[in-house]
Amino acid sequence: MSRNQPPKGPGKSGLPGFNPQAGFRPTVGLPPSASGRLAMSPAGAAPRPASKDDITRLLQLGGANLAAGRLEHAAQAAAAVLQAEPKNPDAMHLIGLVALGKGDAEKAEKFIATAAALMPRHANVWVNLGNAQRDQGKAEEALISYHRAEMINPDYADLYLNRGQLHQDNSDYADAMDDFERLIELQPKEAASYMRAASAASDAGLFREAADYCLQALTVLGGEPAQITAILATTYERLGDLDAAVLWAEKALANAPADAGALRTWAKARRRKDKKNKALLGELRGRLESVAAAPMRAPDARLVLSELGQICDEMGDYTAAFAHFEAMNRRTSELKSLERVDRGKFIGEVEELSRLMTKENVSRMSALPGIEGEPGHEAAPVFLVGFPRSGTTLLDQILDAHPKVQVLEEMPLLNAMRKGFQGYPKALFTLDEAERATLRDIYFSELRAADADLEGRIVVDKMPLNMVHAGLIARVLPEAKFILALRHPADCVLSCFMQDFVPNGAMLNFLTLEGSARFYDRVFALWEQYRALMPLNVREVRYENLVADLRGEVEPVLNFLGLDWNEAVSDPAAHALQRGTIRTPSYSQVTQPIYASSTERWRHYEAQMKPVLPVLAPHIERLGYSL
């Protein structure tokens, strides 16, 4: 759920779902079919036999049209070749790339796989096959195709660009950075190589490394390209070096005044430096409103509108703020990248778990022996969960400051265990001891791969929405402890609506207030089912109490973990600045001294919240909050 990341490196096409970096390069010397004919003769004239030169020219024409984004023209050229030579591999490759450009990755895979079988020694064909598989979510198949390309040509730069993108999309950031570093070696004069590496480092929360990639680019490339300086500005803002953020943002804007990312970073860093300066807020608001009034692409508009909403909120103009957040979410819904996202998948998983998690089903669960802990580990695994924007990042910084605690921040560590559990979630009820042992090994292997100090510290897996899979955790890791972060449901829902999360299947529920409220309702209803039916070991932490009395709220949590109070946990802002790897939207809040101004924030928006309060009311009452 990280946000405000350096932009991804640019592609060579604006086509949705299409990455032509591996390109279309016709092979040389393919013998034309002796009986081949071209359907391109003048009207009324008899078709003439296709010559080798005819086919070469058509393939070159198709490739040029593909590169220019003229997909129909490229398809026509490929079809003409196939009419002359039905098994021409270059034409099949070209048809596949056209399909990929149109977003039909399944068709693309079919044609490119045929081409790869006919000309198996061409690295670019295998890379494009990997791209088609990647765009269908077939990560393992894509990695095999990329590996074939690497075996053919280990110096093929496009391989590392595309495989690195796959690793980054799958949160395999170390592998992504390895691929992008190899890309830098092969293309040291390409700005995009450094941008890709910086993006992967940023996604991993390694903001200092991201800055180093950018500084390396400036040294090698010379000058101060706006794209690189904009990323530097964003990275320094994430690190809390606000002066450097403003400096680099101004350099970017000097070269590219319309750069929305640089403009947002410039405004945000200045706002964070002087939050009480109403005149400054007015100045920032005026500049951003003038930009927002002009036509903008959706990715740019959402950045500007997000910052505008925050500025208006701090100025106390809540009506304008809400309007900007509505517009931000509306433009987010227009993103091309969301065309391939299954918007109902995550909520569908929640609803399926809710249907399955009944008293009758749980009573029929296979009996498994208890487990007190994993041999050789310092402590049982701990899961920090809660609804997004409930204070999990603040609590993360507090706990991580303790010398005996290591918090792994929002890494999809549970995913491998879920994927390795055949038949999940129904298989929860029939899990046997051998299967449980295998799943435990998978999870602890993921922790070790994330550099968890399992032998020396208490490891906390902080991923808020893992609360949805509390039943899985309880069955596989019965010794696990849960820390549940709570905040007034109305504040959680409003804050999620106002936050420009990285849009994915779960976060898309926050594009409307109604969607946010119903998502909260479904997630917490499922959580309560788990609490009622399964023996979860849970300690609750309330955000409102945390900001009012840190020690009073945190010391019982430390005791729950078997730890004594340590004064290091009392200054989470200092720890956050020193840590420098906060990947969540709350990074700018937790690097400040603790403040209570975000409690009861929803009351400023009571009129807008009124339609969704009935959905939240049962949870508000059950948790002891009030309307």
pLDDT digits (tens, 9 = 90+) for 205-231: 889 999 999 999 999 999 899 999 999
Residue 113 forms part of a structural domain:
yes
Biggest CA–CA distance in the chain, Å, is 92
Residue 397, pLDDT above cutoff 50:
yes
Structure tokens at 195: 């941008």
For residue 430, what pLDDT band results from cuts at 50, 70 and 90?
very high
Q: Where are the alpha helices (DSSP H) in 258-401?
A: 260-273, 278-292, 298-315, 318-332, 345-356, 359-363, 392-400
**Strand bridging mode 458-462 / 382-386:** parallel
Find where tokens 């070991």 sit.
537
Q: Let me know: does 526 contact 350? Beta carbons within 8 Å.
A: yes
CA distances for 579 relative to 69, 238, 547, 558, angstroms: 44, 11, 21, 20
Q: b/e map of 372-387 (b: 16 or more CB within 10 Å)? A: eebeebbbbbbbbbbb
Give the span between the Cα atoms of 84 and 99, in whole angstroms. Answer: 21
Alpha-carbon span 402 to 381, nearest angstrom: 16
Residue that the structure tokens 């990929």 belong to:
100
Give the pLDDT confidence score for residue 51 in this predicted structure.
Answer: 81
Question: Dihedral of the CA atoms 569, 574, 575, 581 (nearest 10)?
Answer: 150
Mean pLDDT check: name the lowest of 130-144, 148-162, 593-607.
Answer: 593-607
SS3 625: coil
Question: Is it the case that residue 16 has pLDDT exceeding 60?
Answer: no
Query: Could you say which DSSP state residue 501 is in?
Result: P
Structure confidence by residue, pLDDT tens digits, 499-552: 988 777 778 889 999 999 999 999 999 999 999 999 999 999 999 999 999 999
Residue 39 lies in a domain: yes
Where does a domain end: 154, 183, 205? 154
Question: With left for phi above 0 and alpha for psi between -120 and 50, is residue 465 left, alpha or beta?
Answer: alpha
Would you give the DSSP letter of residue 213?
H
Question: Which pLDDT does position 594 carry in this prediction?
Answer: 56
| DSSP classification of residue 4 | S
Q: How far is CA 349 from CA 414, 440, 469, 531, in A?
A: 15, 22, 10, 18
| CB-based contacts of 388, cutoff 8 Å, min separation 6 | 1, 464, 465, 492, 496, 499, 501, 507, 510
Asked whether residue 97 is domain-assigned, the answer is: yes
Query: Would the pLDDT of 571 be above 50?
Result: yes
Taking alpha carbons only, the member of 602, 535, 556 closest to residue 368 is 535
Stretch 560-589: mean pLDDT: 74
In the predicted structure, residue 12 carries a pLDDT above the cut 60: no
Per-residue pLDDT, 522:
96
pLDDT bin (cut points 50, 70, 90) of residue 592 is: low
Residue type, 57: R
Domain boundary among 110, 138, 154: 154
Within-domain flag for 282: no
In percent, the amount of the chain with pLDDT more than 70 equals 88
- 587: confidence class by pLDDT, cuts 50, 70, 90: very low
- Determine, yes or no, domain membership for 233: no
Q: State the DSSP string of 91-116.
A: HHHHHHHHHHHTT-HHHHHHHHHHHH
pLDDT of residue 244: 96
How far, in Å, CA of 451 to CA of 462, rounded? 15
Structure tokens at 288: 């951003």
Handedness of CA 572, 578, 583, 589 (dihedral sign): positive
Q: Are 184 and 196 in contact (CB under 8 A)?
A: no
**pLDDT for 297:** 94
Check pLDDT > 90 for residue 434.
yes
Residue 152, judged by CB atoms within 10 A of its CB (0-12, 13-18, 19+), counts as middle
Q: How far apart are CA 14 and CA 42, in angstroms?
A: 35
Contacting residues for 227 by C-beta, under 8 A, at least 6 apart: 7, 10, 191, 195, 252, 256
CATH code (residue 136): 1.25.40.10
Paired residues of 541 in beta bridges = 485
Query: Domain of 424: which CATH number?
Result: 3.40.50.300
Residue 584 domain-assigned (yes or no): yes
Percent of the chain with pLDDT over 90: 74
Average per-residue pLDDT in the chain?
88
What per-residue confidence (pLDDT) applies to 28? 38
pLDDT greater at residue 97 or residue 599 = 97
Please answer whether residues 66 and 21 qualify as being in contact, where contact means their C-beta atoms are separated by less than 8 angstroms.
Answer: no
Residue at 167 is within a domain:
no
In sequence order, what E strands does 375-479 have? 382-386, 405-409, 458-462
Confidence check: pLDDT of 111 > 70: yes
Range of the domain at 116: 14-154
- Domain end, chosen from 154, 169, 195, is at 154
Q: Does residue 344 lie in a domain region?
A: no
What is the arrangement of strands in the sheet containing 538-542, beginning at the earlier edge strand?
405-409, 458-462, 382-386, 481-486, 538-542
C-alpha 530/C-alpha 480 separation (Å) is: 14
Between CA 432 and CA 434 the distance in angstroms is 6
Sign of CA dihedral 78, 79, 83, 86: positive
Q: What is the mean pLDDT of residues 13-22?
A: 35
Secondary element (H or E) of residue 481: strand 481-486
- Give residue 10's pLDDT: 35
Query: In this predicted model, what pLDDT tens digit does every residue of 367-391 receive, in sequence order?
Result: 999 998 999 999 999 999 999 999 9
Number of domain units in the chain = 2
Q: Which residue has the higher pLDDT, 39 or 535?
A: 535
Q: Which residue has the higher pLDDT, 457 or 39?
A: 457
CA angle 393-498-137, nearest 5°? 75
For the chain, the straight-line distance linking the first and the last C-alpha, in angstroms and rounded, comes to 29
Q: Residue 384, SS3?
A: strand
> Residue 567 carries which DSSP code?
G
> Residue 158 in contact with residue 181, Cβ under 8 Å?
no
In the predicted model, is pLDDT for residue 38 greater than 50?
no
Q: What is the mean pLDDT of residues 437-454?
A: 95
* Residue 342 pLDDT grade (very low, low, confident, very high; cuts 50, 70, 90): confident
Rounded to whole angstroms, the Cα distance separating 97 from 84 reads 20
- Count of beta carbons in the 10 Å neighbourhood of residue 401: 21
CB 431 within 8 A of CB 369: no
